[in-house]
Every structure is written in C-alpha cells, then in structure tokens.
Amino acid sequence: MTQRIRILDKTVTEKIAAGEVVENPSSVVKELLENSMDAGATIIEVEIERGGKDLIRVVDNGEGIEREDVDKAFLRHATSKLSSEEELLRLSTLGFRGEALAAIAAVSVVSLTTKTANSLEGMLYTIDRNRNVSLRETGCAKGTCIEVRELFYNTPARQEYLKSDSYEASLVNDMVSRLALARPDISFRLTSGSRVLLNTPGNGVIGDAVAAVYGRNILDNMVEVKCRTEGLGISGFVSTPYGTRSNRNYQSFFINGRYIKSRLISRALEDAYRTLIMVNRHPMAVLYFTLDTELVDVNVHPAKLEVKFRDENGVRGAVLDCIRSALEKGRWLAAGGKLKPHAPSPGVTRCTTSESGRQRAQNPRFMEETIEYNRIELDNNIEGGSPGLPEMRVIGQFLSTFILAEGRECVYLIDQHAAHERIMYERLIDKMQRGGAASQPLLEPMVVDLSPMELEAVRAKDEFLASIGYKLDDFGGNSIRVKAVPVFLGIPQSREFLIDLVDVLLRQKEKNNQGFKQDEIIMMACKKSVKANQRLSISEMGGLLEQLADTKMPYTCPHGRPVIVTLTRYDLEKMFKRIV
C-alpha cells in the first residue's frame, strides 16, 4: 500500500533540525560561544560537567538581550544578525541563521539569564523537561548566562553515540581553543569540574593566545607570517620544518575571525613545506585571513565550518607564496639529536674557501687530503634572502659520510649526501624556472623499446620531458627515438636514466604537474649527489659547504631530512658530566 505524504509535527521537525546543528557537546559550545562573540563580549567563561553531557554553562559580559526579545531568541530562524537576502552575501557575524538556540532547546533543558546595560533588571527564561516555558525578572550582571543541562535527554539514541566523558571534554577543549585563537582580544576560560583546562589573557596579542593554547615551547618553535596580496591579507604563525606533527590537529584557519576547516588551505600549506619535511609529517599553523566578505561564501555547511572562495586558485597561490617566503627567511639546525630553531645572525651568511677548493668541489673527484683548514665565515654585507650558514671551520670527515666543522661554542655534523642533494635539487629547479635544463643532441639517435603502458605515460608527459631536455618522437610500434638528452651538471644522461624516469612516470600518473616535476627533480638530485662512504678532501668539503650556503633552504634535504646537526658546548659538557 502506498504511503501517504504527511506534514510532520513541530516536535519532530525541531528534533530533525537539532540533528543538523547539535551533534555533541562541543557543537553546542561552538554555537553558544559564537553568540557571545557576536554580542561583543570581552570575557567568556565556559563550564562543563561530564564532558558537557550533564551541564554546559557559558557566561559572557556582552550586550545582553532586550527583555522583549528573550522569548524570540528560541524561535527557529529568529536572529538579530540578518535582515535581508542581500546581507547573506556580506556576512560579518559568526551566526546568522537563527537556529542554534531553538535546536539546542529541542534536545535539552535550558535556562538563560540576560541583562542589557540600560535595563534595571535582568530576565530569566527557562524550558524544562516537559517543554514548559517560564519567563520572569531576576537580578544579574550585564551580559548573558546560558545553561544547557541533560543534553539529548529526550533522544536516547543520540546519547548512546556520545563517547566517554573525557573524550567529549577534549572535543570541547579543542573547540574553545580554536575560538580563543580566532579572537585573541577576548579572554576565554574553560573549566571541567574543578579543573581549569584553558585560560587565555585576551590582550589581543596573537602570540600570547597561541602560547596559552599550545604552550610557550610550541610558540618558540614557530615562525611569524605576515603578507598581503590584492584583496587578501594573511597573518599568524607556522611551525619550523622541525616543529611538525603526525596529524593535522594543530592546523587552525580563520577567515575574517571565523574558524573554518579548509582542504584547499591545508594543501597549500603543506605544498609550501614540500622538500622541507618528511613524508607523513604535517606542519602546525595558526593562520588568519582577511578578505572582502563578498569573496567568500560561509553559508555552505550546516555547522558553518567550511567555506567556498570565489577565487580558489588565487587563495592557494597566496598561501603557498606567503608561507614559503617566511620559511626561506629562517634558519634551523638540529641540536644534539633534538631538532630546534637556531637564531639567524644579521644579514646573510656565506661560506668562503680557497679558489682551488671551489673548483675541486664543483667537480668532485675525491683527491688526497690536504693539511689545511678552510674557514666558513660570516659576511653580513651581502644582500639577499638566503638563510646562509653559521660561522664554521671544516676540521675533518667522519665515517666518510659526515663533515665535521667547528663553530662558535659548538661542533657541526653535516650529512654530505643530504647537503649535495639540496644543492643539486635547487640548481635543477632554477634551470627549469629559467627555461628548462640544458639539452645535448645525439650524433646517433637511440631507439628505446617500451611497453604499451610506458609509451602512453611518455606521451602523456611529453611537455615535461621536453622541459627537462629530451627530444623524442615515435619510431613505430611501442618504440621511441631519442634525438637529444638532458645535461645535468655537465653530464649527458644515459639510456638507463630515461628507463628509470619512465618507471616513475607510471607511478606518478595521479599527481599534478608541479608536484610531479618536483618529485622527479628530487629523484634526479639523488642520482647525481655525493653518496655516503666517499672520501672528500678538506678543500672539497669546504667547497661543498660554500655551495650549500648559497641555497635557499640549506638545513633540510629535498626529502625533509636534516642536513646539519649541532652539538653545543653545553651538550658536550653535560655528556662528560662536567655539569649536572
């Protein structure tokens, strides 16, 4: 029998609407805090019990609600923040739909106490378990206090989906922390039972808010970001290449003061760290974006956590360039086996060594050792943006793999393979950006036989292959004719290199062109780099470090591994028990 269409009653529709807005205690806290922030509060206190299942109390010193509007606040689609369709295109408030309080009240016991600056008395509004409504005058301070008790008492199935008290409390803590970062000018205090989980100063200083949320040690391992392009401002903090995490939980993005989640920004952020961090590691970030409200749509997600940009490519490019620029100005060293930032000296450092050492290092044939010291010195008068290297003096080689150098109150260990890899990588990148790598025509073209899949991969990437120096054409069947080959560092590449490259083409089909090119350049750099277990003379080591100092990112190899580790005098004296 066909089911008849019927109109649902009010109780059912309210619970359905609540399901869209109220997922767990943290979503309740988010909605209530956004109301407080829109009300102009400068101090907001949040208290929860049993992770917010039994009680959520939010107290603020905002504007309060006029007595005539108190009961309207709990009606669906009732709001003071929006009055016309046109205003949807230029939203400046966090809330605007007017459904949060109605949705929360549909699945909990609610009481609201509020008072405006011009009122002599406050108002107390309550909704009990039986849906009875009460409104009366009461004494209270200016602002609003809202209590949400017995969340999901009338929807037991929703209660069963809630996690443990501690887990739900952690979600609330995370949400309050994100909103505290969004508004450093507001003081947030979160307590769970008798424990204070968060307390921010509310002094408007972003760094102090970050320190209050994540800790001062985390802040000390971050780099400040500040730049502006046409119509878009970006500011905040990102971690150094060594301050990464195994997940993206430490990434917070804010658009015009609104906390959002954005795959677009997250991908651009991680692209900026490409070749600087290891695979499966993710940078920390607290980034603030300011742009015209008409250029971003915040009304695309039930919880308003996702947005859509009008110019996604422009935003992605701005994020990548801004963060990469900030990272290139820094200097980081790995210290005593633990990675931490190293404060840069004024200006740009540059390594100096003998002319003969420079020539030998550029063509690294490993000659006999010479009894001489090559000092790598600071030159603070050199213009440019390279982070450079600290002052050091090459003193030898360890295990034919690590360069040993003496610095001011410390010893440096440099991985010669990683250092040369970084040098080769940046040279190849530079060649491509300036119009492609050098190419050498072959006197006698060579024919390479491929499988059908390999031939398809070569045809799909013909522009890329041409950009790195190959000249290829079909030779019938599954064969190609190679008429010219790339020249890397003065050495024409062999048939084996092309075969290896074709193998990588097959594996990398799904990557975009830029990411693909960088991956291939990393492979090329690896093949041409100085390997471990190869002896270098003192002059060759000095020349290698001089070239390393000229790179943009001398402290990591293209795979994100550290190039330099430092042992300070303090580290050594502690190892030998000279200090305790």
pLDDT tens-digit series, residues 132-161: 999 999 999 999 999 999 999 988 888 888
- Is the per-residue pLDDT at 61 higher than 90? yes
Provide the percentage of residues in the chain whose pLDDT is more than 90.
Answer: 26
Comparison of pLDDT for 6 and 141, the residue scoring more:
141
Question: In this predicted structure, what is the pLDDT of residue 575?
Answer: 84
State the Cα–Cα distance between residues 30 and 22, nearest whole angstrom: 10
Mean pLDDT of 355-363: 40
Q: Where are the domains of the chain?
A: 10-84+93-199, 221-328, 332-423+531-575, 436-528
pLDDT tens-digit series, residues 379-416: 332 233 345 678 888 889 888 889 999 888 888 999 98
> Which 3 state secondary structure label does DSSP give 22?
coil
Kindly report the CATH number that applies to the domain delimited by 332-423+531-575: 3.30.1540.20
pLDDT tens-digit series, residues 266-280: 999 988 888 788 777
Comparison of pLDDT for 459 and 144, the residue scoring more:
144
- Top-tier CATH class for 436-528: alpha beta
Categorize the per-residue pLDDT at 179 as very low, low, confident or very high, splitting at 50, 70 and 90.
very high
Give, in order, the Cα–Cα distances in Å from 230 to each of 28, 257, 430, 487, 548: 37, 19, 27, 40, 35
- Is the per-residue pLDDT at 347 higher than 60? no
pLDDT tens-digit series, residues 413-439: 999 888 888 888 887 777 777 766 677
Q: Any residues with CB less than 8 A from the CB of 252 and at least 6 apart, and which? A: 178, 181, 182, 259, 285, 286, 287
State the Cα–Cα distance between residues 523 and 506, nearest whole angstrom: 14
Question: In this predicted structure, what is the pLDDT of residue 358?
Answer: 40
Categorize the per-residue pLDDT at 205 as very low, low, confident or very high, splitting at 50, 70 and 90.
very high
Mean pLDDT of 429-453: 77
Longest dimension (CA), the chain: 99
Nearest to 242 by CA among 478, 565, 5: 565
**Residue 14 one-letter amino acid:** E
Mean pLDDT, the chain, as a whole number? 77
Nearest to 288 by CA among 247, 328, 322, 237: 237
- Is the per-residue pLDDT at 290 higher than 80? yes
> 221-328: what fold?
Ribosomal Protein S5; domain 2 (3.30.230)
pLDDT tens-digit series, residues 490-507: 556 666 677 777 777 776
Q: Any residues with CB less than 8 A from the CB of 445 and at least 6 apart, and which? A: 481, 482, 483
Categorize the per-residue pLDDT at 459 as very low, low, confident or very high, splitting at 50, 70 and 90.
confident
> 10-84+93-199 falls under which CATH superfamily?
Histidine kinase-like ATPase, C-terminal domain (3.30.565.10)
Categorize the per-residue pLDDT at 296 as very low, low, confident or very high, splitting at 50, 70 and 90.
confident
pLDDT tens-digit series, residues 550-574: 888 888 888 788 888 888 888 888 8
Comparison of pLDDT for 378 and 321, the residue scoring more:
321
